[in-house]
Structure 1
Amino acid sequence: MTAPDTAPGRCLAITAGGTLVAMTAFTAPLSIVPTVSTDLGAGPVGTAWILSSMSLGLAVALLSAGAVGDIVGRRRVFVAGAVLTAVGAALSGIAPTTALFVAGRVVQGLGSAALLACALALISATFAPGPPRTRATAVWGAAMGAGPSIGPLLGSVSDAVHSWRWSYLVLAVLSVVIAAAGQQWLRESRGDTARRTDVLGALLLGTGLGCLLAALTEGRQGWTQPLVAILAAVAVAALVATGIHLARSAEPLFPPSLFRRPALVGATLAAFVTGGAIIGLMSFIGTVLERGLAQSAVAASVILLAWSLTSVLASLGARQLPAGLSGGARLAIGLAVAAAGFVPLALLTPASGLWALLPGLIVSGAGTGLANATLGREAVAAVPPERAATGSGINNSARYVGAAFGVTIAAVLAIRPDSPDPVASLVSGWNVAAWGGVAICLLGAVAVPLLQHADDRHLVRTTAARDVGAAA
C-alpha cells in the first residue's frame, strides 16, 4: 500500500469535507419536496423519484467505486466523484423538468458514492490502526452526521430567501472545491495487489441494485403495476448472476470469501440497520412535520438540527470511549440508544408541537453518532488493507440500500391517499414505522455483538491453524 500521507490533518479535512458535501447533497431536497415538485410540475411518481433518485445512484455505484478505487487509485476516484457531484448538482439546479432534475440527482449519487467509498480508504491509508485511526474515523462519522442537518436547512433557507435552486448551485461550487483540494493535496493510495477492473461484475451489481431501488420507488404508487414486477424480476436475475460471476471469476469485483469474516457481516448488518431504521425514518420525518404537524420547512429543518448536531457531538465524543471497548459493543450501544430515542418519536399526534420531538431527536442522534463513528472503522478493519475501499463500499452500499427500504416502508405506511383523514393517517402510519425502527435497532444491537464474538473465535482458529502450518 502507498506510504502514508505526511499531512494527515489535511487528508482528514478533505475526506471529511467530501463526506459532508455528499451527505448534504443527499438530504438537500427533504425539506423542499413540495416546492420542487410544484415548480417542476411533478406528479406523485415524479415526487417519489425526486426523493429517491440520489439513493439509486449511491446504491448502484458505492461498492463498485470502492473496488475500482482499490485498483486504479483512491484519490483518483475520490476526485472524479467530486467532479461528478458538482456536475449533477449543477444539472439539478438549472433543471426545467422533473426528468432532468432526477437525472442530476442520479449523477450526484454516482459521484457521492465515490466520495464516500474512497474517503474511508484514504483515511485508512493515512492513519495507523489504533487510537489515531479511531480519532480520524470519529471525525469522518461527525461529517456523516452533520450533512443531514445542513442539507434540509440549506434547501429550506435557499427557498425562503430566493429559490431552492441556489442550494444546488452552492453544492456544485463546494464539490468543485473538494475536487481541487483532493487533486492538489491528497496522496494517492491503492491496494498492493495488481488486478484488473471487473467491469462485468460492476455492471451486473449496478443493474441489480439499480432495478431493486427503481422497483421500490415505483412500488409506492402501487405494487401490482407491471413495471414494478419487471424491475423486481430483473433485479433478482441480475443479483443472482452477480453472485455466480463473483464465485467463478478469477479477478472478481470483490471476493465473496470476504464475508467469511463474521466481523464484516456484523458491520454490514449494522450499516443496513442504520440505513433502514435511522436514515430511512429521518429522511421521512420532515414530511411528517410539514404535512402532519403543520410546520414550515424552515421550522422542520431547525428542529432536526437537534438530531444531527447531537450525532456530530456523539461521533466526536466516541474518541473518549475506552480503547478496550470492542467495535461490536460500540455498535450495539449506538443502535440501542437510537432505539430508545425513537420511542417518544413513535407517540406523536397531529397536535404534537415541535418540543415534543426534542427528547427523542437528541437521544436517537446520540446513538446515530456513535454508530457512524464506529461503522467506517469496523468495515475497513474487517477486510485486508488492499481492499479498504471495497470494505467501505460494502458498508455504505448496505447503509443506502437499507435507507431506500426504510423510507419506502415509512411512505407506504404513512401516505394513504384514500384515507378520510390524511393528516391523522400520516401521523399514525409514522408511529407504526417508528415502532418498527425501534424493533429493528434492538435486533441489530443483539446480533452485532454475537457476530463480533464469532469473529473473535474465527481469528483464534485461523491463527492456530497458521501456527501449526508454520511449525510443520
Structure 2
Amino acid sequence: MAMVAYAGPLGNATTLSAAFAASPAATTWLLSSMSVGLAVGLLPAGALADLTGRRRVFTGGALVLAAGSVLCAVAGDARTFVVGRVVEGLGAAGVIATGLGLVAAVTTDPAHRARAAAWWGSSMGLGIAGGPLLTGLFDLGDLWPASYWLIAGASLAIAALAPRCFTESAVDPGRRMDLAGAALMAIGLTALLITLVEARRGDAGIALTGAVVAAVALAGFAVAQVRRRHPMLEPALLRHRGFTAAALAAVGTGAGVIALMSFSGTFATGAMGLSSLQAGALLALWSATSAAAALLLRPLALRMTGTTQLAAGLIGAGVGLLMLSGLGGPPSAWRLAPGLIVAGVASGLLNGGLGRQAIATVPADRAAVGTGVNNTARYVGAAVGTTLVSVLAATPHASPAAQVAGWNHVTLLAGAISLVTAVAIVAIDRDRHAEEAR
C-alpha cells in the first residue's frame, strides 16, 4: 500500500498538473514530494521503532499515511497536495522501516529471511505496478481524488489489523531518541531538494541559500552522530563494508531506475500521447516484472553473496535503462518494452538484495534502523534523481521532438548511474575481502 501511494502520480502527473494549473517547478514537486517525506522519515522511524517497538511505529505510520491521503484527496491547489504527499511519505516511512523487521523477527534462519526479503521486494514491485493503474482507472471518470480515499481506507484497515498480525518487538529502555540528529537530517535533505528545484526555475538566490543550509545541516548531522552517546546512525555501522555497499546500492537504485521510472509516466502521456491508464500499463512492464522476478529469482539469489546480488541487479538495471534510449520520431511503446522488461527483471533481483542486506548487515536488535537507513538511502537517491531527471528533461509543454531528446538524455544518465554504482560496490566488497585476507 505504501508503494501504491508512492507510485500513483507516476501515471497521472499530467492530470494532476492540469488540475492544479501547476508550473513546471510545482509539477516537479508533485512527483518528488513523497520521496522527500520518505527520505526524511525513514531513518528516524527506524530508530524510534527500535526504541519504542516496531509494531507501534508500524501502526502509527499506517495512520499517518491515511491522514496524508485524505489531505491529498481534498486538496484544491498544488501546495496542499504537495503537503499531503509529504505527510504520506512520513507515514509510509513508518510502515516500510518496520515491516521487514517485524517479519524478520519471526526467525533467525537465513533462508527464511531471504525468502521474506524476496516477498518484501515483490510487494514493492506490485505496489509500484498497481499505483499508476489505479490512478489511471479513476482518471477515466475524471475521479483522481478517489484513489487517495481508497488508500486512506486501506491504510486504516492495515492499522487496525497490525495488532492482530504482529507481536511487539523488544525495546532498549537505556537508549534515547536522537532528536537533534533527526531535525538536522530533515532540514538538510529538504534544503537539498529545494536547491535543485529552484535551480531549475533559475532563482539563483534561493538555490544558493538552500545549498548552504543543506551543507551546514548535513555536516551538523554527521558531527552529531559521531559525538552523541545515542546517535540515530551509529558510526560503527558505516565501518561495516557490507552495510556501506548496501546503502550505496540503495542510493544508486533510487537515483537511477526509480528516478527514471518516476518520470516515465509524464513522458508517456506527454510525448507519446498515452492516457493515464495506458501509461500505467506501460510502466507495469517494469514494475510487475520486478514483482515476479523477486520471487522467481530467489533460488538464484540464495546462491549469491548479498553484494553480488546487488551488483548483478544494478548492472541489469543499467543495461535495461540504456535500452530505453536512442528514440527517434514518434516513440512507440513496443520500442520501450524490451528495456522495461530487462530493467524489471534486474529490479526484482535488486529489491530482494536490498531487503536482504538491510537486515543482514546490522545487529538483530537494530533491524529497523538497518531497514530505515537502506530505504532512506534509496529515497534520498529517488528524490534527488527524480528532480534531476525533471530538470534535465523537457517539460510536458515542450514539442514532442524536444521531449524525446530529453528522454534520450535522462535514460543515458540513469543507466550510467546504475552501472557506476555497481562498479563502486564491487570495489568496496573487494577491499573488504582484501582486509579479511590480511
TM exceeding 0.5: yes
Amino acid at match of 2:152: A
Aligned to 1:284: 263
Task: Give, in angstroms, the shift of residue 336 of structure 1.
Answer: 1.2
Amino acid at match of 2:232: L
Residue 52 of structure 1 contacts residue 217 of structure 1 at CA under 8 Å; is this kept in 2?
A: no
The structure 1 residue matched to 2:360, chosen from 368, 381, 384, is 381
Task: Give, in angstroms, the shift of residue 396 of structure 1.
Answer: 0.6
Aligned to 1:11: none
Partners of 1:175 and 1:455 in 2: CA distance? 42
Task: Give, in angstroms, the shift of residue 162 of structure 1.
Answer: 4.3
Aligned to 2:387: 408
Task: Give, in angstroms, the shift of residue 56 of structure 1.
Answer: 1.3
Amino acid at match of 1:142: S
Task: Give, in angstroms, the shift of residue 154 of structure 1.
Answer: 0.8
Aligned pair in 2 of structure 1 residues 40, 382: CA closer, same or farther (>3 Å)?
A: same
Residue 14 of structure 2 contacts residue 266 of structure 2 at CA under 8 Å; is this kept in 1?
A: no
The structure 2 residue matched to 1:125, chosen from 65, 87, 105, is 105
Task: Check if 1:432 corresponds to 2:409.
Answer: yes
Amino acid at match of 1:40: F
Residue 14 of structure 2 contacts residue 270 of structure 2 at CA under 8 Å; is this kept in 1?
A: no
Partners of 1:74 and 1:215 in 2: CA distance? 34
Task: Check if 1:97 corresponds to 2:77.
Answer: yes
Give me the TM-score of the superposition, normalised by structure 2.
Answer: 0.95
Partners of 1:338 and 1:386 in 2: CA distance? 32
Larger Rg: 1
Give matches, 1:323-342, under 5 Å. 323-342=302-321
Superposed CA RMSD? 1.8
Aligned pair in 2 of structure 1 residues 382, 101: CA closer, same or farther (>3 Å)?
A: same
Task: Check if 1:213 corresponds to 2:213.
Answer: no
Amino acid at match of 2:422: A
Task: Give, in angstroms, the shift of residue 260 of structure 1.
Answer: 0.3
Partners of 1:99 and 1:322 in 2: CA distance? 43
Residue 59 of structure 1 contacts residue 210 of structure 1 at CA under 8 Å; is this kept in 2?
A: no
Aligned to 1:470: none
Residue 251 of structure 2 contacts residue 381 of structure 2 at CA under 8 Å; is this kept in 1?
A: yes
Residue 59 of structure 1 contacts residue 400 of structure 1 at CA under 8 Å; is this kept in 2?
A: yes
Aligned to 2:428: 451
Amino acid at match of 2:183: L
The structure 1 residue matched to 2:87, chosen from 99, 107, 124, is 107
SS of match in other structure, 1:32: helix
The structure 2 residue matched to 1:141, chosen from 121, 139, 157, is 121
Partners of 1:286 and 1:324 in 2: CA distance? 36
Aligned to 1:18: none
Partners of 1:459 and 1:91 in 2: CA distance? 52
The structure 1 residue matched to 2:180, chosen from 195, 200, 205, is 200
Amino acid at match of 1:172: A
Task: Give, in angstroms, the shift of residue 176 of structure 1.
Answer: 0.7
Residue 292 of structure 1 contacts residue 350 of structure 1 at CA under 8 Å; is this kept in 2?
A: no
Aligned length: 438
Residue by residue over 1:199-235, the C-alpha shift from the partner in whole angstroms, topping out at 9 and shown as x without a partner, is: 111111111112212222333322x432222222111
Task: Give, in angstroms, the shift of residue 192 of structure 1.
Answer: 4.8
Task: Give, in angstroms, the shift of residue 325 of structure 1.
Answer: 1.4
SS of match in other structure, 1:217: helix
The structure 2 residue matched to 1:441, chosen from 418, 421, 434, is 418
Residue by residue over 1:68-124, the C-alpha shift from the partner in whole angstroms, topping out at 9 and shown as x without a partner, is: 111111111111000000000011001122222111111101001111111122122
Partners of 1:119 and 1:360 in 2: CA distance? 31
Give me the TM-score of the superposition, normalised by structure 1.
Answer: 0.89
Give matches, 1:2-401, under 5 Å. 21-192=1-172, 194-222=174-202, 224-321=203-300, 323-401=302-380
Aligned pair in 2 of structure 1 residues 416, 324: CA closer, same or farther (>3 Å)?
A: closer
Task: Give, in angstroms, the shift of residue 459 of structure 1.
Answer: 5.9
Residue by residue over 1:283-314, the C-alpha shift from the partner in whole angstroms, topping out at 9 and shown as x without a partner, is: 01111111112222211111211111110111
Task: Give, in angstroms, the shift of residue 460 of structure 1.
Answer: 6.9
Aligned pair in 2 of structure 1 residues 99, 184: CA closer, same or farther (>3 Å)?
A: same
Partners of 1:124 and 1:334 in 2: CA distance? 22
Amino acid at match of 2:258: I
Aligned pair in 2 of structure 1 residues 103, 416: CA closer, same or farther (>3 Å)?
A: closer
Partners of 2:207 and 2:329 in 1: CA distance? 33
Unaligned regions of 5+ residues in structure 1, if any?
Answer: 1-20, 462-472
Aligned to 1:10: none
Percent identity, aligned pairs only, is 42
Aligned pair in 2 of structure 1 residues 226, 190: CA closer, same or farther (>3 Å)?
A: farther
Aligned pair in 2 of structure 1 residues 333, 38: CA closer, same or farther (>3 Å)?
A: same
Residue by residue over 1:114-141, the C-alpha shift from the partner in whole angstroms, topping out at 9 and shown as x without a partner, is: 1111112212212324110000110000
Partners of 1:256 and 1:367 in 2: CA distance? 31
Task: Give, in angstroms, the shift of residue 252 of structure 1.
Answer: 1.1
Unaligned regions of 5+ residues in structure 2, if any?
Answer: none
Task: Give, in angstroms, the shift of residue 456 of structure 1.
Answer: 4.3
Task: Give, in angstroms, the shift of residue 184 of structure 1.
Answer: 2.5
Partners of 1:385 and 1:74 in 2: CA distance? 13
Partners of 1:326 and 1:36 in 2: CA distance? 43
Residue by residue over 1:248-282, the C-alpha shift from the partner in whole angstroms, topping out at 9 and shown as x without a partner, is: 11111121121000101100110011101100000
Task: Give, in angstroms, the shift of residue 322 of structure 1.
Answer: 5.8
